[in-house]
Every structure is written in structure tokens, then in C-alpha cells.
Structure 1
Amino acid sequence: MVTLFLGAGFSKWAFDLPLVNNLFDFDIGIISDAEERRLELIKKDWALWRESNPDCTPEKFVHWCIEKSSHKKSRVIWYVNRRLTEPFMTRIRGSYSAAMFDERVVRENERIVALKQFFEKLKLFGLNGIITCNYDTIVECALGTSGFNYGVVGEQLRGRGINPQFPWQNAHLRVTGNTPLVKLHGSLSWDKDTKYTSGKPGKAGNALIVPPAPEKEPSSELKEVWDLGGNILSQSQTIIIFGFAFNPYDQALLEFLKRFGSNIKNVLLIDPYPQVERAKSLWTNSKIEVLDPRKEFDIETWIETCTVSQAVIA
């Protein structure tokens, strides 16, 4: 069985979304006066925080905002949502909003079509699940509601349906795919009680996102999500890690990978700057290989080789 683990580098490769260090580049297209005011306030928050914390990561800034006040929390979540949904903004009834997962403008996007093909190839070789620490909804858009689930096949999502001209037509769709999608740090399409068909909670500034912290235990808000991820990972002998840096400060995530990845025999790091030694520290007895996503690569051949190797060992 194969587990696909996605880090920020995957979203950079897929849609040129910013890596963590460049998240607060403020490169968004303002669509209203209200957004312009919000953007100026988050720029001010960022500038003041950086003066006192010049060596800290942007994730710590997000964490600080979320803990500091409801206003700062709402602003930073709104900004992260806008920055990470910029490729999926669509016009609806005279206003702009992030597109719904199944919407035509998403389905026909060239990059989404290519990503869907990538995921479909992995499914042919026993894709056990997709685990990610990303907040964005690229995977949901690529697979569509018929291609994934969040742990429960048939779970109902809230929000508008597939037709932007009639937002409630086919609304409250259900996820019916067989591939579990585990979002360890939350999602721009979730709030604390509900999952949506788009990044609506992020737009409202109340999405359930939890930045990585040095604690070894995951957030209690996402315990069931982490439990599902652990179950998926523990059943897999092969893991494909796409664009993950193994940052030392994210102790909970590293401990998770080590603890539940004890059966891993083959590791593929898809990364222009693969952290091979850090991967070896987690999977000391595994075969570790690398692919550069800046070059054309054949994921099918690599998985076929792993499958043959596992059969010989068995």
C-alpha cells in the first residue's frame, strides 16, 4: 500500500503557491475596499511582529495572531485563505469568491487536469490515502467530491453547489470517493464544526487551521484527523513525500511519521532539495530515493519497481 504525503513544496509545484517563508508576500489581487483595509492591517501586524521576532518563522506569526486576539486571528486566516486560493478565484453574482471543488472553472483548469492524472496513476498502484499538512484545497479541487473523503464516505459538506449562477443548486454535496484525505493542520474549507465545498470559512476568517508548534502532541481539535492519518500510514510499506522539509520545529509531525511509519520499506522524496538525512533519521531501515519535480519524472515506473521489490522480499 502507498501513502502520499504532501508538504508546501507540492502546492508550489502544482500552482506556484508560496512556500512558508514567502507566505506573507502580500501578492493578492484586491477586489474590494474592505479587502484593502484588511490587507493594510495584516501588513501592519506583520511588520510590527517582525521587528520583535526577526528570526522566527511565518508559522509562528500565524500562531501568534490566532492566540493574540479574535481580530488578529480573523485577519490572518482571511489573508492566508486569499493568498492560497488566488488561483481559484471566480466571479459569482457580481462578486469574487473561491471556486467550489467541482466547479467547471476548476475541473477544466489545465493544472488541475494534470494533477488529477497524477493522483489517478497512484490509485492504480494501491493509494492507501493522502496525508497533508497544507491548508489549501488543491487536492479537493483535483479529485472532486467523487474522488476523496475526509474519513467517512458519504459525509455531507456544506456550501454552494457546482453552478455559480445558481449557488444552491446541488448544494450540500457529499464526498463519495474511496481515497481518504487527511489534513493534519486543518483546512481553509473547515471550521470547528463543519466542512464546506469551498474555502468559505477561510474567507470569513474562521477556518480551522493550526500552525505547527514545537509540542510533540497534535492539537486536540484535530485528534480524530491525526488518528485517521496514523491508521493509514501504519498500513503502508511505501511513502511518497512530495515537497516536505522535515522542519525540526514541527516535532508533533515528525514524531507522527516515525511512530506510524514503522512498516515503511520504500521512501520517495519528490523535492528539488531533498532532506535525505532527515528522512533517514525517521526510517533507518528503508530504501530512500529522490526525484526532482523540476524535471519530468515517471511515478509509475518508480512504484512498479517498489512493488516488484516488495514481492521478492515477501
Structure 2
Amino acid sequence: MPNSVMHTTIEGDGQQVPAAVSAVGLRKSYGDRAVLDGIDLRIQAGSVFALLGPNGAGKTTVVKILSTLIGADGGQAQVAGHDLATDPQVVRAAIGVTGQFSAVDGLITGEENMLLMADLHHLSKTEGRRVTAELLERFDLTDAAKKPASTYSGGMKRRLDIAMTLVGSPRIIFLDEPTTGLDPRSRHTMWQIIRELVTGGVTVFLTTQYLEEADELADRIAVLNNGRIAAEGTARELKRLIPGGHVRLRFTDPTTYRSAATTLTDATHDDEALTLQILSDGSQRDLRAILDRLDTSGIEADELTVHTPDLDDVFFALTGSTTLPAPTKETAR
């Protein structure tokens, strides 16, 4: 991998601050199959970045490259301000990785798993026990600390896995599908843990197949498809890429309905249901413009409903699937 690439973010005072993770033109092939075909990334420190993609899209390959587990065939990347090619040891000291499959040893207790990680990070016995006790308490595992990890539930094992990742106080954490297989309660617990990590200044690189998870947690989302980044932005920005958003106005009085139809000439009519439908991205500005037009004519709708595409729509559209979710999400106002 060639040397030195640096993406920066500009703070309010004009100071340039290195991105937590930056990459330009990352490539990786297995045989004649290009898994990554030149991807660019820039992840701001103290944020959650979610990478979405179908199975086999290369999400785990990206994580493995950025966490120095495998090398890229081409491109440039820096993690925590250090070049992956020239400073891999320094990068490893700054990051934590929780893979798809738990690194927990079921034959020993949760506490022993933690102490083992403390030894691997060369912490003193005293420091290792202090950090272990703090993390076990933080992740609500103190009561189970002396029990074999094989007796833990899936959610407990995942919490222990992340607690082990935090022993070395990493500032950047890679979570590769951390909630796969968890029940809804355990998944929400994991979400809260991720939010707390970010509040503490940690940067989280998250891969997930749960679109709701990315929508709930991520500051920015990228969709990986056919080895390339198909789109990147906030959840709201990505949703606006997909057509189909609209506002539906319902009336109970036929006269008011007809007046509204005359005012909103760009709306589609349903005379039987007394509803009007007008294209909209669902933004506050767009809604205000529609309501202002009605207010100017002294018209008030009995019900206003905003219909917006969700991340399911975005995902399927960008990854070329022919199967789309049936209805769009609705928010009554």
C-alpha cells in the first residue's frame, strides 16, 4: 500500500483535525474476484459510521484491512492518524475489534477472559484487576463474573466480547455485525452501549445487516455494493435519494377538499376518499411550503400524513434488488 494519505475535518476555529479513519482507493481481490474495487472513506472522530451491504459485499474485508488483519492490494489508508502500511503496530495499539464470531473462551470464567486480555495488553496485575472489575460492572456482568462463559446467554457473551475489546482503552472500535443473532432486548442493550462509547469520545465503525440499527445509531452510513461505495451520507440524506416521498392531506368536508384541490394544482386527487397527495421529501421546509399555500387560502386539512422512503427502500434500490418492502413508513402529523 502506498504511503501517506490524510483526510481532515475542519473544526469551527479553522483547525485541521485528522479523521479517525481515512482511505482512498482501497482494493482487494481473491483470485479473479474483486471484492473491493477502489473505495474511499473518511470517518470523523467520536462518531458512529455504519457500513451496509448485501452478504458477500466486502464489509468484513474492509474491517479486516482497516484493523490490519489482512493487507489491501492497493490504495492508501490511515487509522488513528497512522499509515496502515508503515505503522501497523501503532494502529493495533489504538484500535479494538469485535468480529462476527465471539472471541470469548467458554471454558474459563468471564473474569478470567477479561484478565487474559489485560495480560495481552501488558497491564500490571493490579491495573488488570482494576480495569476488569470496572468493565464487568459497566457491562452488568459482575454477578456472572465467576461463572464459565459457556453458561452466558448470547447477549451476555456479546457484552463480554465488547468489554474485552475495551481493556486496552481503544479510541477506535470496529464492530462487525455485533448484534447478529441477538434478541430485541439484547440488541437494544447493545445499542445503548454503543451510544455510551461514542459519548465517551470513541469512534465506532459498525457493519450491520439490520437497517434499523444503522438508522438508529449511525451519524453517517455508506452502502457497499459490487466492491464500490454506492452512496454515503446521513440516514436522512440517503432516504432523499429514493423517489416516492409524499404528503397526503385528508378532508371531511367536500367543499374544503375542492378548494384545496384548486389551490394545490400539483397534487393528485382522490375524490372518493377526499384526499390529496403531493410529492415531498418530508423536510420541514417542504411541509411549511405546503401548509403556507393552504393557509393563504384559509384552508385547513383534517389530517396530514407524511410518507417517506426508509433505509430498506434505499438499500434495495442501491444494491439492485428486485424485491422492495411493501409500504413506506408513515408518520401522522
Fold shared, TM-score > 0.5 on shorter chain? no
* Structure whose alpha-carbon radius of gyration is higher: 2
- Larger RCO: 1 or 2 (CA < 8 Å, sep 6+): 1
Normalising by structure 1, what TM-score?
0.27
More strand by share: 2
Q: Which has the higher helix share?
A: 1
